[in-house]
Every structure is written in C-alpha cells, then in structure tokens.
Amino acid sequence: MLDYAFMRDAFLAATVVAVVAGATGFFLVLRGQTFAGHALAHVGFTGATGAVLVGVAPLWGLVAVTVGAGLGMGLLGERWTQRDVAIGMVLAMALGLGMLFLHFYTSFASEATSLLFGNVLAVSAGTVWVLAALGAAALAALAVISRPLLFASLQPELAEARGVSTRLYASLFLVVVAVAAAATAQIVGVLLVFALMVGPAATAQRLTRRIGAGVLLSVALAVIESWAGITLAYYTDWPTSFGIVAASGMVFLATVLPSTNHRHGRAPRERTS
C-alpha cells in the first residue's frame, strides 16, 4: 500500500490533521463548544467557493473565512447564553453566501462535492506541506494559550477575578479551532469535520479525567482512526471519509454502550433465606 506516492501523501496529511484535530478537539469538547467547530467547518465551504470565483486556491479561502468567522463568534458570543445565537447567525449568513457563490459558478460542482465530503487520496505533496505549516501554527498557538484557556474553561468566574480575559482567550481559541477545521476539511470534508474533531476527544474524556493524558489519548485515537479509514478505503474502494467517520463512531460507542448497559441493567436479586 505504501509503495504508492499518493498513499504516502494521504497518510502524512491525515496524520498531521489528526494530531491538530485531536488536540484542539479535546479543548473544544471540554468547553462545550462542539457546535462552534461544526459551524466553522460549514462556514469554510463559503470561503472555498468564494475563492474559486476570484481565482484563488480553495484552501486559502477556506482558511481565511473560517479564521474570520472564528474571531466573529468569539467577539459576539461574550456571554455563554449568547454564544449559540452568535454561532448560528454567522453560520446562517455564511451558508447563504456559499449557495450564492455556487449558483454563479455551477461548474464548481465536482470540486464542491470534494470539499463537502473530503478526498484525502487526492492530496498532493505540496498540500501536505501547507497542512503541516497550518498544523504547526495551530498547535503552537494552542500551547501558548492552553493554561489560561483551561483556567477560563473550568472556572470562568474565578479566572475573571484573577484578571484572565475569558473573552480574549475564547476568541483566540476559536481562531485555532478555525485553522484546525480548515485543515481537517481537506481530509474528511466540511460536513464530517465534527466526527474527527469531536469523536476522539469525547472518547478520551470518557476514558480519563487527566488533562495531559486526555489530550494525548485524543490525538492517538484521531491518528489511528484516520489510518484505519485510509486503509479500509485502499482495500475496499469505499470512501475514505466513511472509513474515518465509521471508526470514530464505533470507538466512541464502544465506550458508551458498556456504561449504558450497566446503568439500565437489572439489579441483582437478593438471596432469600
């Protein structure tokens, strides 16, 4: 399988993206902002279609619009009660623009399908380097803000009292999420980013309560699930995105079902004398 250059590029790209998605997704789930990651991926579709209209590579439009939307969500959603409203408004406006751009450029339909569902086997060596640069920037930024972000996530009132700007770090974090979502969309498409960014992180948080171990486990699961999806696609000719999402879903369900069965199981009968 690795004798083919396109397969090696696919594994490299998937590894880079999985590391970024796993690390960023852990904080995304911890902060209860999974809807934000889902929305940013959809917003990126608008950026990609707009970039094609002006003759720019879709990836750069994807990155630019997701970063802008991430900043907008962070600045508009200062209060927890306002956050979902802000995200929903940004998402609705962006999807409307995306449909308008696609209407003006109907020949983009095949590339639009690739953006929506991903095609990691078509990633070029040049794109791998671009994804590596974006991933390194996102991880570096996440490392810088991780401690105050964690403080603001777990104890927001105390963080504010200590002088930590929860609004600032929320905005910075959403920018990191935007870059991660743009990179992940190259692998699984904008419609399925949610699975790779949230699935491994949610599974990791069910298996451990330690922050460091949870981040590492989330990254490891994302990488393994990505590799499993690509391998399945090679031997079955099924879509790679399906394999990645299926692996993510099955691993998460494997951690949920035992606890569900235990909770709904019958209590043992007391012995009678």
The count of structural domains within the chain is 1
**Do the Cβ atoms of 217 and 208 come closer than 8 Å?**
yes
Encoding tokens for residue 102?
A: 């696609």
Is 236 part of any domain?
no
Is 199 part of any domain?
no
What b-and-e string marks burial along 185-213, b requiring 16 or more CB atoms within 10 Å of the CB?
bbbbbbbbbbbbbbbbbbbbbeeeeeeee
45 CB-near residues (< 8 Å, 6+ apart) = 62, 94, 95, 98, 112, 115, 116, 190
Backbone phi, psi, residue 268, to 5°: -65, 140
pLDDT tens digits in sequence order for the chain, 273 residues long: 888 888 898 899 889 989 998 999 898 888 887 777 777 777 877 777 777 777 777 778 888 888 887 777 777 655 544 566 666 676 777 777 777 776 666 655 566 666 666 677 778 888 888 888 988 999 999 999 888 888 877 887 777 777 777 778 888 888 888 888 888 777 777 767 778 888 899 999 988 888 889 999 999 999 999 999 899 988 988 888 888 888 888 988 888 877 655 555 554 444 444
Is 49 part of any domain?
yes
Query: Which residues span the domain enclosing 63?
Result: 5-191
The confidence score (pLDDT) of residue 264 equals: 54
131 CB-near residues (< 8 Å, 6+ apart) = 13, 16, 17, 123, 183, 186
CATH code of residue 102: 1.10.3470.10
The confidence score (pLDDT) of residue 237 equals: 81
Is 239 part of any domain?
no
Encoding tokens for residue 189?
A: 């498409």
Is 180 part of any domain?
yes
Is 256 part of any domain?
no
How many alpha carbons lie under 13 Å from residue 136 in its C-beta half-sphere?
Answer: 6
Is 93 part of any domain?
yes
Q: Which pTM does this prediction carry?
A: 0.79
From 234, 235, 195, select the one nearest 34 (Cα to Cα). Answer: 195
Is 244 part of any domain?
no
Q: What is the DSSP code (8-state) at residue 56?
A: -
Residues 217-250: tens digit of each pLDDT = 999 999 999 999 899 988 988 888 888 888 888 9
